[in-house]
Amino acid sequence: MSDARTFHLESALLPDGWRHSVRVEVAPSGDIESVTPDAVADADGAEVVGGPAVPGMPNVHSHAFQRAMAGLAEAGAAGADFWSWREVMYRFANRMGPEALEAVAGQLFVEMLKAGYTAVGEFHYLHHQPDGSPHDEAARLSLSVLATASRVGIGLTHLPVLYARAGFGQTNARTEQRRFVNSVESWRAIITACGLASREMPNARVGAALHSLRAVPPDMLHQALEGLDESMPRHLHAAEQVAEVEECLAATGARPVAWLLDEVGVDPRWCLVHATHIDEAEVVALARSGAVVGLCPTTEANLGDGVFPLDAFVAAGGRFGVGSDSNVTVTPSAELCCLEYGQRLTTRRRVRAGGGEAGTRHAGAELWKAGLAGGAQALGRPIGAIAPGCRADLIVLDAAHPSLTGRVGDELIDSWLFASHESPVRHVMVGGEWVVRDGHHRLEAEILESYRETLAGWR
Ligand code: NGQ
Ligand code: ZN
């Protein structure tokens, strides 16, 4: 087609494996139109791209505002835990206005792109003013996130979050949680406003999120799901802390994931974030449901959550994606490395994600491919593969980087995930547009400047 742009990739990870001399045609919409391996370079004026290309990683779970506090909850008493971290987090959550959120999310989204994430699921619960009263435009803060993602050029599945109460058995939210709270109706109105805004954004869509079984009572959860657009991704935090499993058992007679499977009927549209504490029956049932588990290994380590039983879950056919969550780490390679290391430390074996005959499958490459498939499913967008019909979202590695030199095919991803202390990501494309060239984002200097101005003096 005449308006399509054509790229000639030196080598690329396609759905059927690594291929050389790959011609990729991208439609003006940003969708890939055709992919042709073993093509002749510059036969048709294509832009020649040196270095190995892989699909960009979807980031299934982020709270953008938490980037501003990363590292500031590391001082505490010996009893510091998830719940005491949450108190520090609430202080930041209540300082964020629209401009600050745009500055912080802008910096974060640039960092994500430079690290190899090409799309993000923003699990967004900062809706109102700190006293709980709505902004003049009820979706104001959501619209800030949508506009920032569009300006920076990262793919976005925006997930407005329903939040109602402080915990099991409570009827109200705490003072610090007031700005998170909506009725089902006011939450739907925010989703609708975001849906309208995202129509003008080729790399964005809207999904639905329920904060957790702690924060959304069962009746309200059922009501929220009724009449929800059938195709929408549905995200929810589940079973991250032992205390919440115990409280859920006491309140409902079931563990959180078992309750969801039995009472809600979790299916492939669902992404259960964390799902850390699940028993053997839940492992199998959750894997069979076809839902994605959104694993956030560096945040889960940072918060002292526990280790998800990935070995058993994958053996049962389970699907997973990775998320940067609290954004203490904003690097897909580190997230996947930490995920694999959690399994190695608990099983005392190696190459857990490879899992095949010795030497036949590469842990790093298997993790990357699984993260692409699970991430695309969880974000509900056509991403995660260099293939016709998918968005042209890809990253190009620096083959001359000391950690990658001499590596070919899957060894490139292994060496990146397990043995690189600097990022080998060189170029990044989202929806057919280069958003990072030679390691730099076009807007990085001005975005960093406003991030610095925003954070000056914050504690
Ligand atoms: C969140 N973060 O919503 O930001 C949560 C903490 C909560 C993680 N769970 C708040 N990692 O779960 O109540
Ligand atoms: Zn979260």
pLDDT computed for residue 78 by the predictor: 84
Same domain, 336 and 213: yes
CA of 66, closest atom in ligand 1:
4
Structure tokens at 114: 């430079």
Are the beta carbons of 310 and 295 closer than 8 angstroms?
yes
pLDDT computed for residue 351 by the predictor: 87
From the CA of 429, how far away is ligand 1's center (Å)? 31
Give the CA angle between residues 284, 367, 430 to the nearest 5°. Answer: 115
Same domain, 427 and 345: no
Q: Which of 65, 84, 86, 236 to mutate to test the pocket of ligand 1 (most atoms within 8 A of CB)?
A: 86
pLDDT over 70 percentage in the chain: 98
Same domain, 226 and 351: yes
**Total structural domains in the chain?**
2
- What residues are neighbours of ligand 2 (ion), with CB under 5 Å? 325
Give the pocket of ligand 1 (CB within 6 Å). 63, 86, 212, 237, 240, 299, 303, 325-326
DSSP states of 367-389 as a string?
A: HHHHHHHHHHHHHTSS-SSSSTT
> 55 versus 79: which is more confidently predicted?
55
Which residues are designated catalytic? Answer: 274, 325
Residue type, 394: L
Could you tell me which of 101, 72, 124, 144 has the C-alpha nearest to residue 450? 101
List Cβ<8 Å contacts ≥24 apart for 368-371: 368/13, 368/54, 368/57, 368/336, 368/413, 368/417, 370/314, 370/319, 370/320, 371/57, 371/58, 371/320, 371/321, 371/322, 371/332, 371/336
Domain boundaries, position 426: 5-55+385-445
Distance CA 434, CA 430 (A): 7
Mean pLDDT of the region 27-48: 92
Q: Is the pLDDT of residue 2 over 60?
A: no
Distances (CA, A) of 180 to 129, 183, 272: 9, 10, 20
Scanning the structure block, which residue is given the tokens 């690329």? 12
Residue 75 lies in a domain: yes
Residue 254 lies in a domain: yes
Same domain, 218 and 242: yes
pLDDT computed for residue 357 by the predictor: 65
Domain C-terminal end among 379, 410, 428: 379
Residue 35 lies in a domain: yes
Residue 451 lies in a domain: no
Same domain, 336 and 318: yes
CA of 125, closest atom in ligand 1:
3
Same domain, 216 and 103: yes
Residue 177 lies in a domain: yes
Q: How would you class 182 by CB atoms within 10 Å of its CB: exposed for 0-12, middle for 13-18, buried for 19 or more?
A: buried
Distance CA 149, CA 25 (A): 25
Q: What are phi and psi of 169, to 5 degrees?
A: 80, -5
Could you tell me which of 441, 335, 450, 379 has the C-alpha nearest to residue 111? 441
pLDDT computed for residue 1 by the predictor: 46
Atom 10 of ligand 1, nearest CA residue: 86
Q: Is the pLDDT of residue 119 over 90?
A: yes
Distance CA 440, CA 319 (A): 33
Same domain, 45 and 148: no
DSSP 191: H
Domain C-terminal end among 331, 353, 379: 379
How confident is the model over 302-314, as pLDDT tens digits? 999 999 999 999 9
Same domain, 37 and 176: no
From the CA of 22, how far away is ligand 2's center (Å)? 38
How confident is the model over 322-352, as pLDDT tens digits? 999 999 999 999 999 999 999 999 999 998 8
Q: Give the domain CATH number at 334.
A: 3.20.20.140
pTM of the model: 0.98
Q: Is the pLDDT of residue 253 over 50?
A: yes
Atom 4 of ligand 1, nearest CA residue: 63
pLDDT computed for residue 76 by the predictor: 83
| Helix locations, 46-198, DSSP H | 82-93, 98-115, 140-152, 184-198
Q: What is the mean pLDDT of the chain?
A: 96
Distance CA 264, CA 361 (A): 36
pLDDT confidence bin for 86, thresholds 50/70/90: very high
Q: For the chain, how long is the longest CA-to-CA vector?
A: 67
pLDDT computed for residue 317 by the predictor: 96
In total, the chain counts a number of residues equal to: 459
Atom 5 of ligand 1, nearest CA residue: 86
CA of 300, closest atom in ligand 1:
11
Q: Is the pLDDT of residue 55 over 50?
A: yes
How confident is the model over 201-216, as pLDDT tens digits? 999 999 999 999 999 9
How confident is the model over 121-162, as pLDDT tens digits? 999 999 999 999 999 999 999 999 999 999 999 999 999 999
Q: Is the pLDDT of residue 359 over 80?
A: no
Report how far apart the first and last C-alpha atoms of the chain are (Å, whole number): 54
Residue 186 lies in a domain: yes
Mean pLDDT of the region 399-405: 96
Distance CA 258, CA 270 (A): 14
Domain C-terminal end among 321, 354, 379: 379
Residue 19 lies in a domain: yes
pLDDT computed for residue 80 by the predictor: 92
Atom 7 of ligand 1, nearest CA residue: 86
CA of 237, closest atom in ligand 1:
9
Residue 453 lies in a domain: no
Same domain, 408 and 335: no
Distance CA 149, CA 270 (A): 23
Atom 1 of ligand 1, nearest CA residue: 63
Distances (CA, A) of 126 to 62, 97, 144, 279, 370: 13, 9, 11, 32, 31
Same domain, 347 and 406: no
DSSP states of 40-76 as a string?
A: PTTSS-PEEEEEEEEEPEEEEEE-GGGGGGTTTT---
DSSP 18: E
pLDDT computed for residue 459 by the predictor: 64
**Ligand in closest contact with the CA of 215:** 1
Same domain, 142 and 212: yes
Q: Give the domain CATH number at 20.
A: 2.30.40.10
Atom 3 of ligand 1, nearest CA residue: 211
Q: Which of 277, 326, 327, 335 to mutate to test the pocket of ligand 1 (most atoms within 8 A of CB)?
A: 326
Same domain, 255 and 128: yes
Could you tell me which of 253, 152, 134, 244 has the C-alpha nearest to residue 190? 134
Are the beta carbons of 168 and 214 closer than 8 angstroms?
yes
Strand pairing report for 57-62 and 17-26: unpaired
Q: Is the pLDDT of residue 45 over 90?
A: no
Are the beta carbons of 14 and 32 closer than 8 angstroms?
no
From the CA of 175, how far away is ligand 1's center (Å)? 16
CA of 299, closest atom in ligand 1:
11
Residue 201, C-beta contacts closer than 8 angstroms, at least 6 positions apart: 146, 149, 150, 156
Residue type, 223: Q
From the CA of 164, how far away is ligand 1's center (Å)? 14
Are the beta carbons of 180 and 408 closer than 8 angstroms?
no
pLDDT over 90 percentage in the chain: 93
